Amino acid sequence: MCYNKGWLNYHRIEHYPDVDLLSKLYLCGVKDYLPGDITFTAVKELVNAINGMLNIDVEVDIQGQRELIPSDKYGIIIERCNPEKEEEFAEYKLVGDGFLLKQCGFHLLILARTESGIMYGVFELIRRIASNQSINQVEILENPKNPLRMLNHWDNMDGSIERGYSGNSFFFEDKEVVVNDRTKDYARLIASVGINGVVINNVNVRAEATELITDRYLGKLKEMADIFANYGIRLFVSANFAAPMEIGGLSLADPLDEGVANWWKDCIRKVYEAIPGFGGFLIKADSEGRPGPFTYNRTHADGANVLARALKPYGGLVVWRCFVYNCQQDWRDYKTDRARAAYDNFIGLDGKFDENVILQIKNGPMDFQVREPVSPLFGGLKNTNQMLEVQIAQEYTGQQRHVCYLIPMWKEVLDFNTYAKPEGAKIADIVSGRTYGQVNCGMAAVANTGNDYNWTGHDLAAANLYGYGRLAWNTDMSSEAIAKEWICMTYSYKDKVVNNLLQILLKSWPAYEKYTSPLGIGWMVNPNNHYGPNVDGYEYDRWGTYHRADRNGLGVDRTKEGTGYAQQYNEPNASMYENIETCPEELLLFFHYVRYDYKLKSGKTLIQHIYDTHFEGVSDVEDMIRSFEEIKSMIPEDVYQRVMERFAMQLDSAKEWRDRINTYFYRKSGVEDAYGRKIYK
């Protein structure tokens, strides 16, 4: 075995209180119970988990009918609601793939309407046991908050991964699709946290990847789709908008051309003949050199709808990305603003997309920086299906060499009130479909996995993969609760391990923000690889002007006098950002040009804040290392070694950031540190 089991390793739990309930398992109302059925997968998982954690051999009774189960004997009952007798289960208020986990007398009931719901209930029970929480009198009803909970892999067919920091792809190698045990173990991991859709290839669809939707690859994709289906996951692929030309031999890819529309219909028919449960396409168009409808003077709605109409008869979806901007813009022009691009390109198309199109919107208007405001498209679009896109891969947040627990960032995004409705509309409400009664919506995330032994490069980066799934399932969960679950599942429920790892995780995003670029300015990274400090590094700004730093101050004026970006938000958010007094300070330099001697709410000047936070960030990393050293004897030796190696890299890098950024601003401003520290190196 060349990889570990991640958070599904089922380490032994000593003295679990409720073992009596768990030695027998009855199945009721389950029609299909064969390898390949989700219920079969779920039962097998539960039996293995209980065996691994509690050393109990669970006896499974698959004939179970409720009436025949002895009411005075302990056991787990797994029951699928009979759709013909909906009224019997109405009291439980189960929606979609939701589940009920409840103790009733001698029995522990897992009840669901769907097979996936059964599986999710099983994983909830496993989490409870792994965290050493009693199931006595348990009663949990959970319905997924988001209908779609997707992962996007940026894997290329040569095995490389764009922005991948965990080795190579386990989906592709040497231009072939790979299906093996790891495919299954991957599906198992992500299904356990509620993922129900996976895009396996890079949104930048080049060369052989364009052919994934042809006979050459469909057989292998079918094998993969079947494995995914055992875990309630639908397979999606990224498609190339110019496929009709690149593989179809047409002379154009104009979405309004009949020949092009027919080509897509034909292609998609063949895909569904091979893979009936196929999910659909993810499309990046007219962005960073990718082809798209702009070539033919068509809109993105025209582009998306031609695919949507071909997919519709099969229930397929088009997930269309809003990451559309002009990477050639001249940053010396103070009025042109990349931040405006997604909104400017899409707001006029609201309501013009077919029902099976979903716009996938990055959390911020830029590109997964450590701090950005939310995209104003959320709250702007009112008649269009929307999905929130976040990035688990740490492209701009330390590339899985630095620990950076991202759930708190995503929670801030989800909790943001867009004021799309007078009574309020949080992003969590919009993407879940609650605000506008939509069903094709949810969350997507750029995955951080690869073929490394530990899946995610940094062992602690697995908390982000785990956490993304849990958050997409239940956006109300706290960052802390998610982290605790992951720690218990992966390592131990012992207080010291939980407390120290929790401290590390919760400190990590703020620490990264402190020692990198200040107050929302972003981008101060090395061009192209996006790792390490480089004050003028932003690759699409060869003039080094985007941050507007000069001898007096820095920051981008995005108010009405500046680029006008702040006006893309609904009120009162637009005014909040316009006004330097009410603009949240962590985003001050994103929205305003600010003098170095400007006094922040802390009483410190801007320049002193920059100096201080860079020192603090480094000392936070030192604290994290100390907390980790304290649990050395309580976690596996190999994990300890790997994490300590990464911490050493992180500490060096944090110091480099501190010194480069502070030196730069010292030289620009000429202001000495208030505490007499040597600021420049």
Structure tokens at 40: 């079969």
Under the criterion CB under 6 A, does residue 367 sit at the interface with ligand GCV? Answer: yes
Q: What one-letter code names the amino acid at 499?
A: N
Query: For residue 254, which amino acid is it?
Result: D
Percent helix, strand, coil in the chain, to 5, is 40, 15, 45
Counting every residue, how long is the chain?
681
Under rule CB under 6 A, residue 163 binds ligand GCV: yes
What is the nearest approach in angstroms of ligand GCV to the Cβ of residue 391? 8
Q: Which residue in 133, 204, 262, 663 binds ligand GCV (CB under 6 A)? A: 204
Based on CB atoms, which residue is closest to ligand GCV, 16 or 154?
154
Cβ proximity to ligand GCV: between 54 and 393 the closer is 393
Residue ranges of alpha helices (H) inside 153-285 are 181-192, 215-230, 243-246, 258-274
Q: Which helix (H) or strand (E) holds 46?
A: helix 38-54
CB of 203 to ligand GCV, least distance (A): 5
Q: Which CB sits closer to ligand GCV, 203 or 239?
A: 203
**Residue 523 CB, nearest approach to ligand GCV (Å):** 11
Answer yes or no whether residue 203 interacts with ligand GCV by CB under 6 A. yes
Neighbours of 504 (CB within 10 A): 27
Name the CA radius of gyration of the chain, rounded: 26
Q: Are 541 and 333 in contact (CB under 8 A)?
A: no
Q: How far is the CB of 323 from ligand GCV (least distance, A)?
A: 5
- Specify the stretch interacting with ligand GCV by CB under 6 A; choose among 198-206, 300-308, 309-317, 483-491: 198-206
Taking the least distance from each CB to ligand GCV, the nearer of 41 and 238 is: 238
How far apart are alpha carbons 635 and 118 in whole angstroms? Answer: 32
Judge if the upstream peptide bond of residue 572 is cis by omega within 30 degrees of 0: yes
Nearer to ligand GCV, 79 or 155 (CB): 155
Stretch that binds ligand GCV, among 4-12, 34-42, 50-58, 196-204 (CB under 6 A): 196-204
Applying CB under 6 A, the site for ligand GCV has a residue count of 10
Report how far residue 294's alpha carbon sits from residue 292's, in angstroms, rounded to the nearest whole number: 6
Contact region with ligand GCV (CB under 6 A), list: 201-209, 482-490, 515-523, 604-612: 201-209
154 binds ligand GCV (CB under 6 A): yes
Using CA atoms, how far apart are residues 230 and 223, in angstroms rounded to an integer? 11
Please tell me whether residue 107 binds ligand GCV under the rule CB under 6 A.
no
Residues marked as catalytic: 288, 367, 395
Nearer to ligand GCV, 225 or 358 (CB): 358
The helix-helix angle for 215-230 and 258-274 (nearest 10°) equals 50
| CA end-to-end distance (rounded Å), the chain | 47
- On whether the CB atoms of residues 65 and 80 are closer than 8 A, the answer is no
To ligand GCV, the closest distance from the beta carbon of 204 in angstroms equals: 5
In whole angstroms, give the CA distance from residue 183 to residue 190. Answer: 11
Q: Is the dihedral of CA 89, 92, 98, 104 positive or negative?
A: negative
Q: Which is closer to ligand GCV, CB of 230 or CB of 449?
A: 449
Position 329 contacts ligand GCV (CB under 6 A): no
Q: Which of 293, 285, 287 lies closest to 254 in space, CA to CA?
A: 293
What is the smallest separation between the CB atom of 401 and ligand GCV, expressed in angstroms?
17
CB of 540 to ligand GCV, least distance (A): 9
Among 107, 153, 284, 614, binds ligand GCV (CB under 6 A): 284
Query: Which residues of the shown chain bind ligand GCV in the complex (CB under 6 A)?
Result: 154, 162-163, 202-204, 284, 288, 323, 367
